[in-house]
Structure 1
Amino acid sequence: MILQCSHIDKSFVGETVLSDISFHINEQEKAAIVGVNGSGKSTLIKIIMGQLSADSGDIILSKDTTVGYLAQNQEYASDRTILEEMQDAKPEVGILERKIASLSAQMNEADGKELEALIKQFDHAQHRFDQINGYAYQSELVGVLKGLGFENEDFDKKIASLSGGEKTRVALAKMLLTAPDLIILDEPTNHLDLNAIHWLEGYLAQYNGAVLIVAHDRYFLDKIVSKVIEIRQTKSRVYLGNYTEYTKKRQEILDSLQKQYLNQQAEIKHQEEVIAKLKQFNREKSIKRAESREKMLDKIERIDKPIEENTKMHLLFTPKIQSGNDVLTVKGLSKRFADHVLFENIDFEIKRGEHVAIIGDNGSGKTTILKMINDLLTPDSGTITLGTNVEIGYYDQEHHVLHMEKTLFEEIQDEYPNMTNTEIRNLLAAFLFTEDDVFKQIKSLSGGERGRVSLAKLMLSDANFLILDEPTNHLDIDSKAILENAINHFEGTVLYVSHDRYFINTTAHRILDLTSQTMLNYIGNYDYYLDKKDAMEQAHLQTETKVSDVTASATATASDTKLSWQQQKEEQARQRKLEKELQAVETEIEELESDNEQIDTELSDPANGNDVAKLQELSKKRAENDARLEELMQRWESLSE
């Protein structure tokens, strides 16, 4: 065991945030702390790190344990370059390098006993240098920086000149290079693109120490953790397994508690009715029996009604009118800033009812495309055409659609003056803003709260084409699930940028990957994209190299990236047909196997031992089933491929 949290309590101004929190982390264990926004996750991390004191309880670290910590908002002040900062992550490497060089120079000038002493020191220094992996440190350093999205040309940048997100990545890189016994991360994926998140997943999954993570990235948690510590209603509960297993077990527990509560309530009601009836008889024996039942009823330990926190917003997107089939057509779109080319000659179409995700590295131009569609930026070349009756609802990750000086109430009232005060309050309450919360200024809200206000305005817009820029940023896991459900039930069209892979996997029908200044088209969700990514990129690369035969060769190799709308529909219909046939084959296999079990039971029944005709009939039927099963198994393998 490397970390023990025992009976931790914490309150602020009389409000209990954490009560009786207990759990432990073993060596090399990967665990997550989950809970809705405001449940006390970051508070608990700060208590573990000694930045806050608990009101009661103990934090116990095993002896000589080193801890690395990455906070959500990283303050990083340094006059050094990124590379200089990284080289300082293991100062012993630099000290030993200089010592080995110095000893080597001294040995060239020494002899006799002095040389013997220097050789001994040199061997000792070299052995220690090898122990701390000094020879591979430079390549490890470069690998971590590149894994987190930095390029060689970034290494000489001054840390003071970096953005907040870049500073957080530098802090994460340096912390990983120090290789502590316990890594504690608070929302580590917030400033990482998909490639960097994927790299960090692999790094942490193989990490030789223990890891404790606070994150809302469900895909990330599924890949890494084997234990989930849930904080809900100030209490903690520990679940073994990854995030998906946690959600299943948690629901099973809630269902069980609800069932126990309802059963007990039904029993209490029944007993109360019996007691009331006995008292109505008004006889000495019946009254005594009623009193006896009352005493038994008083001794029952009442089960509290399972209550979920009031943390679930109510979100439903309903288009006012239906758009035409052609929602958006983009042709020859290009954009550069100074000498930096973001993308060139991008073409894509979006049809009514599609849910399309744009993915790509940080800085590739994803948000720029959304801003161009919304006339907030002008393309260098190309055209953007909206279809008939298309009405856009835009969710901006920077929340420029909000007015910082207004209150929440004014934000809604000014935009929708026909709404009554009660309607505005009811709407804001549906997004978890109640009582005096509605008079807070927008500028005083957290990122998650601003996100909820933006979603409220988006819901009121009655748009049939939703354009969303990182809609899950700052939302807790429960709110993300609600947004996913609202999008999946939306009858209009959705185009969004996101690095939340779980969200993409759940809501996207198609993925546009903005990579190498162009766009590749994947007709499926995130799992499909991962499966086809290498083949698609190879096909695109082959297309690019065959310049002499663009119309013939490029069309053949990149057909999947430029499928017509009709081809896409035909492919989707074919997939559905195959899936339906696969399901039918699996059903028939199950039925035949069940039939064989029944036949085997009858064949082994002593009562049928002398019935030759029946045994022959059963054996014949068994052989027919086996032959059919062989056919079905072959077909199942073919369909599965």
Structure 2
Amino acid sequence: MLVQLNKIRKNFGGLPLFDNISLSISDNQRIGLVGNNGTGKTTLLKLLSGQEHPEFGTVSKNKGVKVGYLEQNPIISEDAVFKHIIENFEQISKQKRELSRVERMMADPETYDDKLLAYYGRLQEEFEKQGGYEIEDRVISVLKGLGLGDKLEQSLDSLSGGERVRVELVKLLVSDSDLLLLDEPTNHLDLAGISWLENFLNNSKKAVIVVSHDREFLDNVTQRTIEIEDSKLIDYPGNYSIYQKLKKERIKQMQKDFDLQQAELARLRKLARQYRQWGNESGEEKFYKKAKEIEHRIERMTILKAPETTKKRVRVDISTTIKASKELVKVNDLCKIMGEKILFEDSDFIIFKGERIAVMGENGSGKSTLLKIILGQISPDQGNVKISDSVQIGYLPQVIKFDKENQRIIEYTKDITGNEERARRELAKFGFYAGDVSKRLKDLSGGEKVRLYLLKIFQNEINLLIMDEPTNHLDIFAREEVENILANYQGTLLAVSHDRYFLKKNFDKTLLVDDGKIEKFDRLLIE
């Protein structure tokens, strides 16, 4: 046992977040932590890491156990990436600084001598004995695996937010932590980086608890799934897919037990009423006594709750009756240069009616740029993009912004639909009910922003839907709802996404942006 939670109670905003929960984590376990947004997944990780404390109960660790937690908001500094990570190893870092100091002295003819050379040799020997060179190689290897191989000497403050999170992930993976707590570790990784991380974790001897909306990642990495539901922890053996199956079976059994108990309660209450009626009619005490026995029996019963079933939040079908030509988008000799980098050149492809195409490639390869060229938001440096006159495009951007952030949902939707009655009707289809419509746009979660933007898109009849990372800010339940919507969509789909589960369910062709070219494949390039 590495870490144990015992009878934990934790409140948030005066309401119980966790109610008398217990959890034991052992060596080498890889656990997926799931639950709807707001159920406390991140809080549970912080309890395990010691960053937060419970109101009641205990969190205990075995002696010497080290727990590492992936920070989503890393500190910005001027330190170089490699230096920042190596400083995680205090002794090695100290020796590395001394080696660098002596190297500078050796480069100066005035301070160089045989004594200094001999001292440098002893330092190198000690550095090697402490595993310094091995650790440096490991750091470089992990940086390369997560797409940061060219950032070793770059300062942290010059990196993007996503790159800084990846640096923190590298720092955690190469650390000597016994338990890794990973909160959305795939958020800023491309498909190659996700695949590398899966292999790393599967070959590691460290215990792992991961919160992720990436169902494929959970399937490929985890062996145990813990769901937070109704302030309790429910433990399932197996990965995400096995958890889904077992949960359905559990809910089915709970419903059966609930129905049986309700039927038994109805029978007993009816029987108690009958005995009381007989007592009233006959005046005999034995009937009252029998009625009381049955009523006491009911009072002693543990009343089962009906299982909570997740209600379908989004209830809209996308249909299109617009006639479209066979060739929707035709691209010839396309070239785009960003700075000094050629993203792609000499590229030709056609998007045909009804195709469902995933745009794939490494981070920075130009996937989002390609979408913007097709949308006419930016111009290519060479070549042309011809959009058929019959095409009606709906576009879901990667970053959703609203012009009037202080506007309330109902006001925003009235501007789109024309009147309040229709606005409320449309909002309900997309999962916004009476308690939601007065929220300000600036206060919406990522998932709420996506749903509201989809509402706007689908007010018009479209036959080409373009999406840039549509599942990025959605919980698993919301992702599944979007998948179900798209499954009924008869138009053409074009999307950038790193969510392999989403891609496998909705796409069967690929535009690969790689090595300065765009190439179309009549299959989805995911193993």
In the alignment, the residues of structure 2 paired with residue 336 and residue 345 of structure 1 have an alpha-carbon distance, to the nearest angstrom, of 12
1:402/1:354 CA distance change after superposition, 3 Å = farther
**Residues 591-621 of structure 1, C-alpha deviations (whole Å, 9 max, x = no match):** xxxxxxxxxxxxxxxxxxxxxxxxxxxxxxx
- Contact between 1:392 and 1:467, CA under 8 Å: does it hold in 2? yes
Q: Which letter does structure 2 place at the counterpart of 1:511?
A: T
1:205/1:403 CA distance change after superposition, 3 Å = farther
In the alignment, the residues of structure 1 paired with residue 359 and residue 220 of structure 2 have an alpha-carbon distance, to the nearest angstrom, of 23
Match of 1:258 among 255, 258, 274: 255
1:330/1:305 CA distance change after superposition, 3 Å = same
1:296/1:234 CA distance change after superposition, 3 Å = closer
Aligned twin of 2:231? 234
1:143 partnered with 2:144 = no
- Contact between 1:82 and 1:155, CA under 8 Å: does it hold in 2? yes
Aligned twin of 2:222? 225
**Residues 550-593 of structure 1, C-alpha deviations (whole Å, 9 max, x = no match):** xxxxxxxxxxxxxxxxxxxxxxxxxxxxxxxxxxxxxxxxxxxx
Matches within 5 A, 1:546-565: none
Aligned twin of 1:343? 344
**Residues 64-105 of structure 1, C-alpha deviations (whole Å, 9 max, x = no match):** 222221123x23221122232233232422444677898xx9
Aligned twin of 2:365? 364
1:249/1:404 CA distance change after superposition, 3 Å = same
1:323 partnered with 2:321 = no
State which drifts further: 356-365 or 255-264. Answer: 255-264
- Contact between 1:370 and 1:467, CA under 8 Å: does it hold in 2? yes
Q: Which letter does structure 1 place at the counterpart of 2:246?
A: K
Q: Which letter does structure 2 place at the counterpart of 1:323?
A: A
Unmatched 5+ residue regions in structure 2?
107-111
**TM-score with structure 2 setting the length:** 0.88
Higher RCO (CA-CA < 8 Å; seq separation 6+): 2
Match of 2:244 among 231, 247, 251: 247
In the alignment, the residues of structure 1 paired with residue 114 and residue 340 of structure 2 have an alpha-carbon distance, to the nearest angstrom, of 52
- Contact between 1:67 and 1:181, CA under 8 Å: does it hold in 2? yes
In the alignment, the residues of structure 2 paired with residue 182 and residue 296 of structure 1 have an alpha-carbon distance, to the nearest angstrom, of 48
1:423/1:14 CA distance change after superposition, 3 Å = farther
- Contact between 1:233 and 1:309, CA under 8 Å: does it hold in 2? no
Aligned twin of 2:16? 16
1:467 partnered with 2:471 = no
Local SS of the residue matching 2:47? helix
How far did 1:317 drift?
1.9
**Residues 483-503 of structure 1, C-alpha deviations (whole Å, 9 max, x = no match):** 111111212221111001111
Local SS of the residue matching 2:422? helix
Aligned twin of 1:373? 374
Aligned twin of 1:506? 505
Aligned twin of 1:596? none
- Contact between 1:318 and 1:459, CA under 8 Å: does it hold in 2? no
Local SS of the residue matching 2:436? helix
Q: Which letter does structure 1 place at the counterpart of 2:26?
A: N
1:133 partnered with 2:134 = no
In the alignment, the residues of structure 1 paired with residue 20 and residue 301 of structure 2 have an alpha-carbon distance, to the nearest angstrom, of 25
State which drifts further: 289-298 or 466-475. Answer: 289-298
- Contact between 2:258 and 2:306, CA under 8 Å: does it hold in 1? yes
1:44/1:98 CA distance change after superposition, 3 Å = closer
- Contact between 1:316 and 1:459, CA under 8 Å: does it hold in 2? no
Unmatched 5+ residue regions in structure 1?
532-641
1:402/1:324 CA distance change after superposition, 3 Å = farther
How far did 1:139 drift?
2.2
1:328/1:268 CA distance change after superposition, 3 Å = farther
Aligned twin of 1:210? 207
Number of residue equivalences: 514
**TM-score with structure 1 setting the length:** 0.73
Local SS of the residue matching 1:385? strand
1:220/1:134 CA distance change after superposition, 3 Å = same
1:491/1:98 CA distance change after superposition, 3 Å = closer
In the alignment, the residues of structure 2 paired with residue 328 and residue 133 of structure 1 have an alpha-carbon distance, to the nearest angstrom, of 56
Aligned twin of 2:67? 67
How far did 1:394 drift?
0.8
How far did 1:283 drift?
6.4
How far did 1:430 drift?
4.2
1:181 partnered with 2:199 = no
Matches within 5 A, 1:304-453: 304-308=305-309, 312-387=313-388, 389-400=390-401, 403-417=404-418, 420-435=419-434, 437-453=436-452
- Contact between 2:348 and 2:519, CA under 8 Å: does it hold in 1? no
Q: Which letter does structure 1 place at the counterpart of 2:499?
A: D
How far did 1:405 drift?
3.9
Local SS of the residue matching 1:460? coil
Q: Which letter does structure 1 place at the counterpart of 2:147?
A: G
In the alignment, the residues of structure 2 paired with residue 458 and residue 213 of structure 1 have an alpha-carbon distance, to the nearest angstrom, of 34
Q: Which letter does structure 1 place at the counterpart of 2:25?
A: I
In the alignment, the residues of structure 1 paired with residue 4 and residue 498 of structure 2 have an alpha-carbon distance, to the nearest angstrom, of 34
How far did 1:311 drift?
7.7
1:401/1:465 CA distance change after superposition, 3 Å = farther
- Contact between 1:30 and 1:212, CA under 8 Å: does it hold in 2? yes
In the alignment, the residues of structure 2 paired with residue 312 and residue 126 of structure 1 have an alpha-carbon distance, to the nearest angstrom, of 63
In the alignment, the residues of structure 1 paired with residue 332 and residue 326 of structure 2 have an alpha-carbon distance, to the nearest angstrom, of 17
Q: Which letter does structure 2 place at the counterpart of 1:61?
A: K
Aligned twin of 1:516? 515
- Is the helix fraction higher in 1 or 2? 1
Aligned twin of 1:36? 36
How far did 1:127 drift?
6.8
- Contact between 2:402 and 2:441, CA under 8 Å: does it hold in 1? no
- Contact between 2:10 and 2:54, CA under 8 Å: does it hold in 1? yes
In the alignment, the residues of structure 2 paired with residue 444 and residue 78 of structure 1 have an alpha-carbon distance, to the nearest angstrom, of 29
- Contact between 2:127 and 2:133, CA under 8 Å: does it hold in 1? no
State which drifts further: 48-57 or 265-274. Answer: 265-274
- Contact between 1:402 and 1:411, CA under 8 Å: does it hold in 2? no
1:327/1:20 CA distance change after superposition, 3 Å = farther
Q: Which letter does structure 2 place at the counterpart of 1:245?
A: I
Q: Which letter does structure 1 place at the counterpart of 2:242?
A: E
In the alignment, the residues of structure 1 paired with residue 509 and residue 262 of structure 2 have an alpha-carbon distance, to the nearest angstrom, of 49
- Contact between 2:68 and 2:181, CA under 8 Å: does it hold in 1? yes
In the alignment, the residues of structure 1 paired with residue 84 and residue 136 of structure 2 have an alpha-carbon distance, to the nearest angstrom, of 13
Q: Which letter does structure 2 place at the counterpart of 1:472?
A: T
1:196/1:415 CA distance change after superposition, 3 Å = same
Local SS of the residue matching 1:68? strand
Q: Which letter does structure 2 place at the counterpart of 1:75?
A: P
- Contact between 1:9 and 1:54, CA under 8 Å: does it hold in 2? yes
In the alignment, the residues of structure 1 paired with residue 264 and residue 18 of structure 2 have an alpha-carbon distance, to the nearest angstrom, of 34
Q: Which letter does structure 2 place at the counterpart of 1:174?
A: K
**Residues 255-293 of structure 1, C-alpha deviations (whole Å, 9 max, x = no match):** 111122223333444555667778888965996777766
**Residues 343-377 of structure 1, C-alpha deviations (whole Å, 9 max, x = no match):** 11222222232221111111111111111222211
- Contact between 2:319 and 2:488, CA under 8 Å: does it hold in 1? no
Local SS of the residue matching 1:439? coil
How far did 1:401 drift?
6.2
Aligned twin of 1:301? 302
Q: Which has the larger radius of gyration?
A: 1
How far did 1:319 drift?
2.3
How far did 1:24 drift?
1.5
